[in-house]
Structure 1
Amino acid sequence: MSILSVIIPTHNRARYAIPSIRSILDLSEEIQVVVCDSSPVDEISEAFKGLYLETRLKLVRSTEGISVVDNFNLGLQSADGDYLVFIGDDDFVSKEIIDVAHWAKSHDVDALKFNFPALYYWDDFKHSTRGDSYFGTLHLSPFTGNVVRHDVNASVYYALDNFGGGVFGMPRAYAGMISNTLAKRIVGKYGALFGGVSPDIYSSLLIATESTSCVLVDYPVIVPGASGQSTSGKSVTGGHYGALRDNAHIAPFKNLVWDARIPEFYSVPTVWSYSLLKAVERVQSQGGKSLNPNFGRLLLKCFVYFPGSYKHTLASLKAACAEFGVLKITAQLVFSVCSEFVWGLSRIINRVRARYVEKNVEVFDQLNTTLIGSEKLREVLDARGSRITFPESNL
């Protein structure tokens, strides 16, 4: 068994997946890469034919039409490592990921959350305001290299309060690391690690609920990528919003029963909130503690950011009021106005400060694939003598 399996679910994106797979295989003999490819045409296998045993590279052909959630669960079933990392096919990782897995195993840490001081942009990523200036670039922000205990309970309550806002501080399997033991325990208790219509946020709540030891690592261990065909790329071009049932991401979910309290249109907040809600319901069905999403915060997001879908949002507002009472939902909406404003303003201020005031974001260009980006990051980290400071004792 390998110490680490890096699982890459992919669909019709061989152009991104092949360099990313190569970049990870080059890092260490101790890494197993598992690729779950649901593309109708296999364009990945030929690039690696006869080069690796399954202990190093396992290429799994998913059933055509499989949902992204089922593809993630298939990846979990196919992985052999003691520790598991799920990434996108346009992401990459640094070689320190092996050190992290070994340290976690020796200290009985079952969940690891990472900060992302390094971000990579493919050569087809078009920024909403800066156009093609991000093409083939690696952006590196300051980091400490520290490893500290992470408060999972606080992260859960924050995500529930900012309902539809994302994973936030919750530990993750996607762009995070968990032990295989924890994953099996979750599957045994809840039936599956991934669920809802967004595997990332659904699994995060289950991990946060079941983890017994979680740490936060401030180092570029995982480098999220953004490409023209990724969620990030589609979001900035407006391609991540529309009719729910017509969306290619949702179509594979056969017989999907949507929750009336979630506005029925396709967007980042509605997909995330639906998936988090399904995880909440699953935890509570197994006798877990009561968790209360802030529906008012979600409804406010939908009214403000997606005015074209106000009819769907109004219908969900009525459903939420019918279940929780008009007074409660109205109070949530009122308080959410201030919270959403402060949250949005803080994001803008932090970005402006980092880029124009502190000017502490370094940009390296002419890096057209993740393989080249990975090599550049290694060069920079080695030149600086950067390393992770692992605690000698258990946190």
Structure 2
Amino acid sequence: MRPLLSIVIPSKNRYSTLINLVQKLLDWNSSDYEIVIQDNSEDNAPIKDFLINYNNDPRLKYFHNLNHVTVCQNSEDAIDNSSGEYVCFLGDDDGIIKQSLDIVKWMKKHEVDSLNCKQGSYCWPEYRYKNCGKKKSLAGMLIYHSHNGDLYQQDAISGLNSLLENGCLTLNGITRLYHGIVSRETLNLLKAKTGTYFPGSIADMSSAVGLVFFAKKHYYLNFPLIISGASGSSYAGKGAKKNNHTAFEHQPWFAKETIEEWSDKLPKRIVGQTVWPDAAMSALKKVGHADLISKLNFPLIYAEYLSEFPEFTEDFELFLQLRYSVEEVQAIKVQINSYMKRIARSKWRYWAKVYSIYFGINKFLNIERLDANSVGEVLTKLESKVENERKTGNSHFYQVLNS
């Protein structure tokens, strides 16, 4: 029998978080879902004993590819090896609560193509922000803003326009497979058009932008159905410690074409502030909407890039001179300076949130906190909280759960 939901988890060399997540997901009292682990680790010995314990559980599918593949290819293989009517793509340090199955049943009943949600953020205990201790790094905590449980339809194209205006530097409420839920039919439409579920250098941004044009009925849930995790060895963990940028020419986790087709409007540095816009541009080209690239806010991209990596300022000056005219450089610098002020305010708000948690006054900022030593533990706590509240909750979210 075909499962309703496939939870696909591409992974490489991160068994401690992966095993904890999968153990928790297999606790769900349902046969309506499957978990697909797509493992590209060099040595899978550490997971073999764990797999033996679940040998007879048809909900768990494990695939190991010893040969190196790109991150996108590993993710592609994960989806191809899944069979659910809907797909949710998680990282191996992320999480999703069991009540998500009720939401997916609602999606099927109402022929919803994709769903995005307000996420919670969980920092694993070993996570550290540069020069900060455990508590100021929010390590061992689930943090999420208070939610109202609203469930409403969104215009994906409007969301894309907003994404482009903000430089494609972070994902908003648009369609998304990574940390979202998408129908198999919608995914197949994207692949039929582009030859892949991930038409760009990174999976999250490229699939999100590509799916915009195929998800006709898209909803947003104002509830932390999905938990975005950050472990010490993840990209987020390396970014917090400023260890997330490397040499441009040799990137074994990217397809060769990513380097060869790199836009001349982006500095040749592999960092979040360049790869996310690059992935968005690639997706727009492959789905036949390259004209929308003109809406991408490059001055904001440059401002975020310099704010995060001021050590690249000298190289960036040369980049501007080689890419733009003198008049254009002057205009761009004015815009960068303006955006820098906005970025500074954003960073101030972030640290205000951190210190509100640090001093235990986060409730005044409508921020919720749950302490836990793993994603498995934090999912259990959040699921329990949902069950306690569903008896009295009257939001759209609880109406779906109780229907």
Match of 2:334, SS state, is helix
Query: Unpaired segments of 5 or more residues in structure 2?
Result: none
**C-alpha separation between the residues in 1 aligned to 2:349 and 2:92?**
31
**C-alpha separation between the residues in 2 aligned to 1:194 and 1:68?**
10
| TM-aligned CA deviation for residue 50 of structure 1 | 5.8
**1:361 and 2:362 equivalent?**
no
Larger displacement relative to structure 2 (236-245 or 175-184): 236-245
Residue of structure 2 in register with 1:39 after alignment:
41
Residue of structure 1 in register with 2:349 after alignment:
349
- Provide the alpha-carbon RMSD of the alignment: 2.7
CA contact (8 A) 1:299 1:333 kept: no
Match of 1:124, SS state, is coil
Kindly provide the CA deviation profile for residues 48-79 of structure 1, in whole angstroms up to 9, marking residues without a partner as x. 22625574111111243211011111111111
Q: 1:301 aligns with which of 304, 328, 336?
A: 304
Task: Tell me the TM-score normalized by structure 1.
Answer: 0.88
Q: CA 1:244–1:192 in structure 2 vs 1: closer, same or farther (change >3 Å)?
A: same
In the alignment of these two chains, the number of paired residues is: 384
Q: CA 1:255–1:299 in structure 2 vs 1: closer, same or farther (change >3 Å)?
A: closer
Residue of structure 2 in register with 1:26 after alignment:
27
Give aligned-pair identity as a percent. 23
Task: Tell me the TM-score normalized by structure 2.
Answer: 0.86
| TM-aligned CA deviation for residue 283 of structure 1 | 2.4
1:308 is matched by which residue type in structure 2? E
1:372 is matched by which residue type in structure 2? E
CA contact (8 A) 1:23 1:92 kept: no
1:7 is matched by which residue type in structure 2? V
Match of 1:182, SS state, is helix
**C-alpha separation between the residues in 2 aligned to 1:260 and 1:79?**
37
CA contact (8 A) 2:126 2:139 kept: yes
**1:211 and 2:215 equivalent?**
yes
**C-alpha separation between the residues in 1 aligned to 2:192 and 2:161?**
25
Match of 1:76, SS state, is helix
CA contact (8 A) 2:117 2:220 kept: yes
**C-alpha separation between the residues in 1 aligned to 2:287 and 2:271?**
25
**C-alpha separation between the residues in 2 aligned to 1:140 and 1:295?**
30
| TM-aligned CA deviation for residue 317 of structure 1 | 2.7
Q: 2:107 aligns with which of 95, 104, 107?
A: 104
Residue of structure 2 in register with 1:123 after alignment:
125
Kindly provide the CA deviation profile for residues 209-262 of structure 1, in whole angstroms up to 9, marking residues without a partner as x. 221011100112101111111122111111112322355644x74783133221
Residue of structure 1 in register with 2:263 after alignment:
259
Residue of structure 2 in register with 1:389 after alignment:
396
**1:113 and 2:116 equivalent?**
yes
Kindly provide the CA deviation profile for residues 70-111 of structure 1, in whole angstroms up to 9, marking residues without a partner as x. 111111111111110001101111111101111111111101
Query: Unpaired segments of 5 or more residues in structure 1?
Result: none
Q: CA 1:353–1:188 in structure 2 vs 1: closer, same or farther (change >3 Å)?
A: same
Q: CA 1:96–1:333 in structure 2 vs 1: closer, same or farther (change >3 Å)?
A: farther
2:140 is matched by which residue type in structure 1? G
Residue of structure 1 in register with 2:91 after alignment:
88
2:308 is matched by which residue type in structure 1? Y
**C-alpha separation between the residues in 2 aligned to 1:305 and 1:382?**
41
Kindly provide the CA deviation profile for residues 183-224 of structure 1, in whole angstroms up to 9, marking residues without a partner as x. 001000111111322110011111112210111001121011
CA contact (8 A) 1:302 1:310 kept: no
Residue of structure 2 in register with 1:195 after alignment:
199
| TM-aligned CA deviation for residue 126 of structure 1 | 1.5
Q: CA 1:388–1:316 in structure 2 vs 1: closer, same or farther (change >3 Å)?
A: farther
**C-alpha separation between the residues in 1 aligned to 2:265 and 2:74?**
27
**C-alpha separation between the residues in 1 aligned to 2:108 and 2:31?**
18
**1:65 and 2:68 equivalent?**
yes
CA contact (8 A) 1:294 1:332 kept: no
Q: CA 1:306–1:349 in structure 2 vs 1: closer, same or farther (change >3 Å)?
A: closer
